[in-house]
Amino acid sequence: MEQLCFIKLPELTQGTLISRYKRFLADVRLETGDLVTAHCPNSGSMTGCSRPGQPVYLSVSDNPKRKLKYTWEIIEMPGSRVGVNTLVPNRLVRQCAESGVIPELSGYDRIKPEVRAGDHTRFDLMLTRDDAARCYVEIKNCTLVENGIGYFPDAKTQRGKNHLEELQRQVKLGHRCIMFYLIQRMDAQSFTPAHGIDPAYGAELRRAVENGVEILVYDVDLDLRRIRLGRALPWRL
């Protein structure tokens, strides 16, 4: 089935990445020659998708209350365009789940975002049916791809490990739980946890699967007008 679920992108302005720094800032040289500072909506290390000199695309806001007018949305890497905005995966997966185009998330009546589970954890989505069955979905943005393999995380993440631990606890309580990795680029053929970056996360993901947590991996189809849900990809631990 062709995936038709997509998010329309705002009008984009092209430039060249000069540097990314302090996590949330990026200096960009626009095609006009102007140097601007853009908001970087990505708190990760962005390994493999923040190379100076690469073409980037920025959205522009006319909100006078914003400190920065530009937001970094896309970078052109040698193998693929890459979506860097970490707000996109939650929006896209939720919309596609509501539209019924993700087979693994079909059969539910309601979808609620940002649901608390346990004392200190929130999951991105909770899907429910009238028979009270629950399905918790935690969505992770994946931008690191090497030799056709997508990796997560791109930096050590205690928060990500905590999510895996809570998912396992919810499985024991009788709920369905899913880790959903959205690869925001088009050059991955498979997915695996980044054991070399965060071995503790990789070990916990393996333990989570053994304890009943499911894994879903999808990529995207990304151009300068929209980002669309792409293919389901195989994974290995």
Measured distance CA(189)–CA(195) in Å, rounded: 18
**Residue entry with tokens 């009008």:** 11
Query: Is residue 2 over pLDDT 70?
Result: no
Q: Give the predicted TM-score (pTM) of the model.
A: 0.95
What is the reported pLDDT for 120? Answer: 81
Q: What are phi and psi of 169, to 5 degrees?
A: -65, -40
Measured distance CA(10)–CA(13) in Å, rounded: 10
**Residue entry with tokens 């789940």:** 97
* Domain 6-82, classified CATH 3.40.1390.10, yes or no: no
Residues of CATH 3.40.1350.60 domain(s) within the chain? 88-232
What is the reported pLDDT for 117? Answer: 87
pLDDT digits (tens, 9 = 90+) for 145-195: 999 999 999 999 999 999 999 999 999 999 999 999 999 999 999 999 999
CB 167 within 8 A of CB 125: no
Residues of CATH 2.40.50.580 domain(s) within the chain? 6-82
Q: pLDDT class for 4, splitting at 50, 70, 90?
A: low
Tokens (6 digits) for 194: 């980044």
Q: Do β-strands 144-146 and 190-193 pair in parallel, antiparallel, or remain unpaired?
A: unpaired
Q: Which residues, 6+ apart, have CB-to-CB distance to 210 below 8 Å?
A: none
Residue 60: count of CB within 10 angstroms of its CB = 13
Q: pLDDT class for 132, splitting at 50, 70, 90?
A: confident
Query: Please, what is the average pLDDT of the chain?
Result: 95
Tokens (6 digits) for 72: 């970094």
CB 129 within 8 A of CB 107: yes
- Judged by average pLDDT, the poorest of 7-11, 52-56, 86-90, 117-121 is 117-121
**What is the architecture, at CATH level 2, of domain 88-232?**
3-Layer(aba) Sandwich (3.40)
CB 71 within 8 A of CB 85: yes
Measured distance CA(162)–CA(74) in Å, rounded: 29
